[in-house]
Structure 1
Amino acid sequence: MTPSASLEAVCSVTRYPSSCFSSIASQAGAFNTTDPEMFFKLSLSVAINETSKLSEIPSKLKEKTDDAQVKDALTVCETVF
């Protein structure tokens, strides 16, 4: 089985197969392996990278509102992230 076919097989059992495939395929080394454990590790790397981007969202949203309560709520979100 080729690395691409292996990745497709791994992603086919996920809720969003095409998103899984494109996300993992974007990682260095994704097409140098057929090892499901390596695909799992690459998927964790994708999840960590995408989750870290969440912390930027509250501050961007705070810039777009003048509502004090909304800004306070977004400050809580920043703290949680």
Structure 2
Amino acid sequence: MKTIIIPITITYLPEGFYLATSDVLTGLIAQGKSIDETIEIAEDVARHLISIELEEKSDILPYKHQELNYLLDIHVPIPVSV
């Protein structure tokens, strides 16, 4: 099993949730009630997206999010075993 590092951005939303996205892995979107939960969900989403791409050799469509009022941005590299 190979581990790669994917940088993610975690943003705190006014609604009280954390949102994780990645400029490197298109389609990675994860939301949680805490930073730890959001990172854990982001790892699972990244693993799933990468496995689909490897199996199907398909491009993941770019995710374009709407403008949000960001209260906090955290940039975190996450390890993903694939």
**Fold in common (TM above 0.5):** no
TM bracket, shorter-chain basis = 0.3 to 0.5
Rg comparison, structure with higher value: 1
More contact order relative to length (CA 8 Å, sep ≥ 6): 2
TM-score (norm 1): 0.37
Comparing both structures, which one devotes a greater share of its residues to helix?
1
Comparing both structures, which one devotes a greater share of its residues to strand?
2
